[in-house]
Amino acid sequence: MTGTGCGHPGPEDHPRGWGGPPSTARALRFLGPREVGIREVDVSTPVEGEATVRTLWSGISTGSELLAYRGSIHPATALDDSIGSLGGTFTYPFGYGYSCVGVVERSRCDVEEGTTVFAFHPHQERFTVPAGEMVRLPGSLEPRNGVMFPMVETALQIALDAGDVKSETVVVTGMGVVGILTALLLSRSGAAVIGSEPASWRRQAALQAGVEAVHPSQLAARCSEATSGAGVPLVVEATGRPEVLDDCLALCAHEGTVLVASWYGTQPVRVDLGGRFHRRRLTLRSTQVSTIPASLSHRWTVARRRNSALRLAEELPLGLLATTEVPFEQAASAYSMLDSHAEGVMHVTLRYH
């Protein structure tokens, strides 16, 4: 669905090219539950320390962004306090997204014009951002795959929050992009990872990427077999489905941890915190990429994590997970595919050229 706000010209009113006049650009806006549209917005001239970027690709998150599309986030919630371009709240209409790859058109910072960069910015064909919200992409990284950089960084933070998993059997529920990437990083850390996923095509995608994944109905038996009935010390919950959480606790060994990577938004979460949780001394803990946890702050900074994630983006099988491209003008169909769990659609990128 496309359209324009009252009193503002639409993109079809600007015959000078896809970018429109230099001071405006087309941007995606969330208008209501499961309703998106394209609006004309102003693009500021860069001041010292900023650059204007022409977008080539932008990626859609199947976590927070899909919740926003469905209207499953409380309207008063801040979009993201850690990203300058995401000011405001989830009150309609709003712009969202944080995964753009483009070319620097005009620079007043240390990022040269013509440089291909990743930027934490909502879906928009041209925008101006501070240098600190851009990441130079190496020439060896396919720009289309560069939009998955935040997912790599998220998976890295999950792996860091998981702690020492060497020689341990761990479970990752949900073989979406973040789930698969997390499983691969935990494997690199020495863990024996068992993935869980109800969709057969996603299990196959995980296997192609190098992750063993079973149907949820087989997970308990597989964990018991791998641990001689003791249970696993760690379960990473990455399905986005709150009903999975209670089953994760049942898989844990004594003093085991369920690390929740999912954001459930306004979805109700029912978890049995009775005998099993209490007597086994289990831990239910969240992991989140917006900040560095205090326990790691003496060794890790956001800059270090981003540099590490950038190197990992060159090594991990992002091309395998980058399944679907949709023209920016047809963004509504992209969200609909993700919302309906269309078979074969793992990650969707909006194309601007």
Token reading at 234:
């760690």
**What Rg value do the Cα atoms of the chain yield, rounded?**
21
Q: Where in the chain is the domain with CATH 3.90.180.10?
A: 11-148+322-351
CATH class assigned to 11-148+322-351: alpha beta
Q: Average pLDDT of 258-268?
A: 91
As a whole number, the mean pLDDT across the chain is 91
Q: Where in the chain is the domain with CATH 3.40.50.720?
A: 151-295
What whole-number distance in Å separates Cα of residue 62 and Cα of residue 215?
21
Cβ-Cβ contacts under 8 Å for 218 (sequence gap 6 or more): none
User: pLDDT tens-digit profile of 288-299?
Assistant: 998 999 999 999
Cα-based torsion angle of the residue sequence 165, 312, 146, 350 in order, rounded to the nearest 10 degrees: -20
> Given 3.40.50.720, 3.30.200.20, 3.40.190.290, 3.60.130.10, which CATH number is that of 151-295?
3.40.50.720
Tell me which DSSP letter residue 76 carries. Answer: T
Does residue 6 register a pLDDT over 90? Answer: no
Q: What pLDDT score was predicted for residue 88?
A: 80
Place of tokens 């209670």: 246
User: pLDDT tens-digit profile of 102-161?
Assistant: 999 999 999 999 999 999 999 999 999 999 889 999 999 999 999 999 999 999 999 999
Pick from 122, 157, 120: nearest CA to 135: 120
Q: What pLDDT score was predicted for residue 265?
A: 86
Q: What pLDDT score was predicted for residue 22?
A: 57
